[in-house]
Amino acid sequence: MSKQVLLIEDEPNIIEAISFILSRDGWSVKTHSNGADAVDIVKERKPDVVILDVMLPGKSGYDILRELREDPENRGLPVLMLTARGQTKDREIAERAGCDAFMTKPFSNADVLETVRALAAK
């Protein structure tokens, strides 16, 4: 069974692009585009890797990540954060919140693929 990636992102075109890249590499890609119930979705789906956008409708990506880390079951869940705000302080906030990898949009497809593979192998 292929490994599962949960993509939490609200921009339709970006969802389509990432889904395409990861599917071609053999990942099972699930998507979700609302921040409010994202934590529940993670707990329900139990993905191997989560790709999390920062700016989401309903709840910010940082809050979602903090909530996940409080949950013992998801303390070690590999999370890749994506953000369109490219400032240093955004990366710092993300790392403090407990992300495993952090990427600034626009990203290179190859980098995303490589990072997800690395996270899954951990």
Partner 1 sequence: MSTLNLLVAVCTAYVFFLFFVAFVADRLALQGKKAWLRSPLIYTLSLSIYCTAWTFYGAVGSAARNGFEYLTIYLGPTLVMISWWWLLRKLIRIGRTQKITSIADLISSRYGKSSLLAAGVTILAVIGTTPYIALQLQSVTLSFSVFAGQSGGIDPQDKAGLALWLSLGLAVFTVLFGTRNLDAKERHDGVVMAIAVEAVVKLVALLSVGIFVVWGVSGGLTEALARIDASEFGEWHTDRGRWAGLIFLSAAAFLCLPRTFQVLVVENDDESHLRTASWAFPLYLCLISLFVVPIAVVGLDVMPEGSNPDLFVLTVPLALGENGLAMLSFLGGFSSATSMVIVAAIALSTMVSNHIVMPIWLQLRPSGASVSGDVRNAVLMARRISIVGVVMLGYLYYRMSSGGEALASIGLVAFCGLAQVLPAFIGGMFWRGATRLGAIAGLTAGFAIWLYTLYLPSFGVGTILPVSIVENGLFGLVWLKPDALFGISGMDQLMHALLWSMVFNVVSFVAVSLVTFPSPLERLQAAQFVNIFDHSTNAHSWSGGTAQTEDLMVMAQRILGSGEAQALFMRHARRQGARGNLPAPTPDFLEALERELGSSVGAATAHAMVGQITGGMAISVEDLMAVADETAQMLEYSARLKEQSEELSRTALELRNANQKLTRLSIQKDAFLSQISHELRTPMTSIRAFSEILRDTDQMTPDEQSRYASIIHDEAQRLTRLLDDLLDLSVVENGQVNLNLREGTLRDALDRAVSSAAIGEDGVRLEIERTPAKEDILLHTDLDRLSQVFINLIANARKYCDAKSPRLVIRVMQDADRVVVDFQDNGSGIAPEAVDMIFEKFARVSDQKAGGAGLGLAICRQVMTRLGGSVDYVPAARGATFRVVLPYRTALAAQ
Q: Which residues bind partner 1 (CB under 8 A)?
A: 10-14, 16-18, 20-21, 24, 33, 55, 57, 84-87, 104-110
CB nearer to partner 1: give 46 or 84.
Answer: 84
Whole-number Cα distances in Å, 61 to 9, 27, 39, 93:
9, 22, 10, 11
CB nearer to partner 1: give 12 or 76.
Answer: 12
CB nearer to partner 1: give 16 or 71.
Answer: 16
CB of 73 to partner 1, least distance (A): 30
Identify the burial level of 107 via C-beta atoms within 10 angstroms of its C-beta, where 0-12 means exposed, 13-18 middle and 19 or more buried. middle
CB of 11 to partner 1, least distance (A): 6
Contacts of 114 (CB under 8 A, 6+ apart): none
